[in-house]
Amino acid sequence: MSAGSLGANTLGVLAGCVLFGALAGAVGTFVLARRRALVADVAGHAALPGIALAFLAGEALGLGGRTPWLLLAGGACTALLAAWCVAILSRWRRVGADGALAVSLAGFFGLGAVLFSVVQSHPAGSQGGLRTLLLGSAAAMGHSEVLTLAALACATLVLLVAFSKELALVAFDEEFARTAGLPVRRLDLLLTLLLVAAVVAGMQLAGIVLVVAMLIAPAAAARNIGVWTQGRLGGVTCIAALIGALSAAIGVFASRSTAGVPTGAAMTLAAAATFLATIPLARTADRSARA
Amino acid sequence: MSGSLAIDLPAIAAALLATIACGSLGNWLVLRKEAMTGDAIAHAVLPGLVAGFLVSGARSAVAMFIGAALAGAAAVLLTTFVRRSTRLEAGAALGIVFTAFFALGVLLLETQGARQVDLDPECVLFGSLETLFYAAPQDGPWIAGVPRELWALAAAATLALGLNIAFGKELAAHAFDPIHARLAGRAPLLVERALLAVVTAAIVASFTAVGSVLVLALLACPALIAAPHARSVRGQLALSLVIGGALAIGGYFLAAHAERLLGSRSALNAAGMIAALMALAVPCSHALRALVSRRA
């Protein structure tokens, strides 16, 4: 399909993608500030076993394996579980933060691979409908997928805006937030929930392996620019959302105009290129700060 | 060789050799708190593998290996550059660079027609231990039927063991106290680069046979399973290899004979099963240690 023949459905998909990009950029800014970037990576990979379980459950209950909200819910459950495992394990002295990430990632993604092979041996699972969730495909999205994504994205953005002040305080000065009486643990849980929501919203588009890029890269690029503009968090968040939305739109157009280009890879590369292009800005800002 | 052995034996050998190669090196990554570096390199080598494949026009092991090693090195250099110039936290810099490399690899795979051949993203992620089998050659010695992934894995395992034996002291000095190691003149930069190079080699060799799931499990889990029980680095290395090997064999049988053992419809993904078992063993091992020390 050429980029010129954008039908009604394409416009819907595009709207969904732009919404997801904005959401990922905004949530990513807080994730990055709280130094949880790789938790997003673990959560993305960990959605796989949940998706496979949701497929099998949907088939068993007669709902059909590819019910969008069921797949999203399943992915969200295991992604949350993995984030919880990371939090628990990293408190164990001998495991450490990086060990906790690696172990959770390996465990959940390994389980996902096993369950994926169960799905593929399932009579209804062999057509490969779930494969698009690995690497993302906007073209495979139907009307109901776009609506589910839009609802999820709107709810997440509202929550983010409502609690942005508290989340920012916890991210930048945990000690102060604690002495000021903020419920740090509950706010961390909220941030994890928002992160997981962004991950499952994006897995249809970017794929579970690459969805982390859409959370980190736009936020990091915005921070490069933000250092230059005195780093107001509200401004950085808006710029990150803008970069995320643009990258997602580029991904959709690239995959529509060139056969075989997966949406997830295209939007990841667009976001990463934006980040690389903004590095000189951070460097000049650094230099002028030192001078 | 009987039918079942011809299928089971090469797969188990591959899993064990990958355990030796990645598992032994993983001890150093874990000690240096760089367990996620292995994950990053495992993703970042993909464009190199594909480019090597496209340039050589066939599944040439040498070209793919060179491409992957170059991609791994480029990713490490780019991550260092990003960290220095933006003061991002290490994990975020790693996350941006390796996903970008992986995305480039996927793009090359899907658009350049490499897709038709058995190099597809799913196989790279989940591995295909099950497809390694011994085919007795029509003529020539029996050894010609050994799948070529096994030779690459054997070379990587030898290299990893060689690094452990030759530079064990330097690696330990550097892992526990990098500043002291530098002052004592134990060539930290060289040791660090040698470690990264051998890790990349082990990942690339393991990649096509066992997939990135198992590679990243092997780089982190055996070392973390052994850590609470070992009293010395050498003890931890030995223990991690023994437990890792046992879990690899157990996981393979559980997956490959799942119809009989677990009652599933067909055989399951062996690499994923081993990875999941190893990850599960980490908290078990630490809980066991806590239990034992409470009794004592």
How high is the ipTM of this complex?
A: 0.90
Q: Is A220 on the interface with B (CB under 8 A)?
A: yes
Q: What is the pLDDT of residue A203?
A: 85
Rounded mean pLDDT, B135-164: 80
Q: Cβ distance A101 to A39 under 8 Å?
A: yes
Quick one: average pLDDT of A182-204?
91
Contact residues, chain A, for B39 at CB < 8 Å: 41, 102, 105
Q: What is the pLDDT of residues B83-93, one digit of tens each?
A: 888 878 888 99
Which chain A residues are within 8 Å of B122, Cβ to Cβ?
Answer: 131, 134
CA distance A40 to chain B (A): 9
User: Taking the alpha carbons of B114, A249, B126, B34 in that order, is the dihedral positive or negative?
Assistant: positive
Asked if A102 and B220 touch (Cβ cutoff 8 Å), the reply is: yes
In 3D, which of A109, A102, A124, A117 has the Cα closest to residue A49? A109
A264 touches chain B (CB under 8 A): yes
Distance from the first to the final alpha carbon of chain A: 53
Give dist(CA A220, CA B96) in Å, integer: 9
pTM of the model: 0.90
Q: Per-residue pLDDT tens for B219-236?
A: 999 999 999 999 898 999
Q: Do A37 and B38 touch (CB under 8 A)?
A: no
CA distance B50 to chain A (A): 15
DSSP string computed for chain B: --HHHHHHHHHHHHHHHHIIIIIHHHHHHHHTT-HHHHHHHHHHTHHHHHHHHHHHTS--HHHHHHHHHHHHHHHHHHHHHHHHHH---HHHHHHHHHHHHHHHHHHHHHHTTGGGTT--HHHHHH--GGG------SSS-GGGGS-HHHHHHHHHHHHHHHHHHHHHHHHHHHHH-HHHHHHTT--HHHHHHHHHHHHHHHHHHHHHHHHHHHHHHHHHHHHHHHGGG-SSHHHHHHHHHHHHHHHHHHHHHHHHTHHHHT--SS---HHHHHHHHHHHHHHHHHHHHHHHHHH-
| Average pLDDT rounded to a whole number, residues A217-233 | 80
Q: Taking the CA atoms of chain A, what radius of gyration do you get in angstroms?
A: 19
What does pLDDT average to over chain B?
Answer: 84
| CB-CB neighbors (< 8 A) of A86 in chain B | none
Three-state secondary structure of A67-84: CHHHHHHHHHHHHHHHHH
Q: What single-letter DSSP state applies at residue A142?
A: -
**For position B152, what pLDDT does the model report?**
85
pLDDT above 70 (res A189): yes
Cβ count near B120 (within 10 Å): 15
Does residue B103 contact residue A268 with C-beta atoms inside 8 Å? yes
pLDDT confidence of residue A3:
40
CATH topology of domain A8-281: ABC transporter involved in vitamin B12 uptake, BtuC (1.10.3470)
Touching check for A91 and chain B: CB below 8 Å?
A: no
pLDDT given at position A241: 94
Q: Would you call A110 and B228 a contact, using CB atoms and an 8 Å cutoff?
A: no
Question: Using CA atoms, how far apart are residues B270 and A139, in angstroms rounded to an integer?
Answer: 32
User: If you measure CA to CA, which chain B residue comes closest to A254?
Assistant: B107
DSSP state of A230: T
pLDDT at site B134: 67
> Hey, where are the domains in chain B?
3-135+144-286
- What's the one-letter identity of residue A193? L
Q: Would you place residue A286 in the very low, low, confident or very high pLDDT band (cuts 50, 70, 90)?
A: low
State the average pLDDT over residues B259-270: 80
Lowest average pLDDT, out of A125-134, A172-181, A225-234, B210-219, goes to A125-134
Taking the CA of residue A108 and the nearest CA in chain B, the distance in Å comes to 7
How many angstroms separate the CA atoms of B151 and A20, rounded?
Answer: 45
The pLDDT score that the predictor gives to residue B133 is: 67
CB pair distance less than 8 Å for A98 and B36: yes
Task: List CB contacts of A162: < 8 A, sequence separation 6 or more.
Answer: none
| Average pLDDT over all residues of chain A | 85
- Between A196 and A152, residue with greater pLDDT: A196
Residue carrying structure tokens 């667009």: A270
Distance from CA of A153 to the nearest CA of B (A): 23
Closest CA to A241 of A20, A26, A15, A19: A26
Contact flag A112-B272 (C-beta cutoff 8 Å): yes
CB contact under 8 A, B100 and A213: yes
Are B220 and A95 within 8 A, CB to CB? no
A133 reaches B (C-beta below 8 A): no
Q: Which residue of A has its CA nearest to B98?
A: A213
Which residue is closest to A214 within chain B, CA to CA? B96
CB contact under 8 A, B227 and A122: no
Q: Give the pLDDT band of residue A4 (cuts 50, 70, 90).
A: very low
Do A99 and B94 count as a contact with CB atoms less than 8 A apart? no
Distance of CA B53 to the CA centre of its chain: 20
pLDDT digits (tens, 9 = 90+) for B24-68: 999 999 998 888 888 888 889 889 988 888 887 666 778 888 888
Most B CBs within 10 A among A38, A117, A255, A263, hence the mutation to make, goes to A117
A75 pLDDT exceeds 90? yes
Mutate to test the interface with B, among A39, A91, A109 (most CBs of B within 10 A): A109
Q: How many CB pairs under 8 A join A and B?
A: 207
Name the pLDDT band for B139 (thresholds 50, 70, 90): low
- Give residue B247's Cα distance to chain centre: 15
What is the structure's pLDDT at B266? 78
Taking a C-beta distance cutoff of 8 angstroms, is the pair B125, A287 a contact? no
Mean pLDDT of A32-60: 91
A135/B202: higher pLDDT: B202
Q: What is the structure's pLDDT at A249?
A: 92
CB-based contact B275 A107, cutoff 8 Å: yes
Residues 47-66 of A with CB under 8 A from B: none
Q: A178 at the B interface (CB within 8 A)? A: no
CA distance A48 to chain B (A): 12
CB contact under 8 A, B286 and A116: no
Which of these, A239, A272, A286, lies nearest to A22 by C-alpha position?
A239
Map out the domains of chain A as residue ranges: 8-281
Interchain proximity A32–B110, CB inside 8 Å: no
Phi, psi of B226 (to 5 degrees): -80, -30
Nearest CA in chain B to A32: B92
Nearest Cβ partner for A213 among B99, B220, B283: B99
Percent of residues, chain B, with pLDDT higher than 70: 88
Which whole number is the average pLDDT over A171-187?
A: 89
DSSP state of A35: T
B209: pLDDT strictly greater than 80: no
Nearest chain B residue to A38 by CA: give it: B91
The answer to whether A128 faces chain B, any CB pair under 8 Å, is no
What superfamily does domain B3-135+144-286 belong to in CATH? ABC transporter involved in vitamin B12 uptake, BtuC (1.10.3470.10)
Collect all residues of chain A within an 8 Å Cβ-Cβ radius of residue B121. 134-135
pLDDT of residue A257: 84
Mean pLDDT of A256-264: 83
Closest of A204, A105, A200 to residue B42, by C-alpha? A105
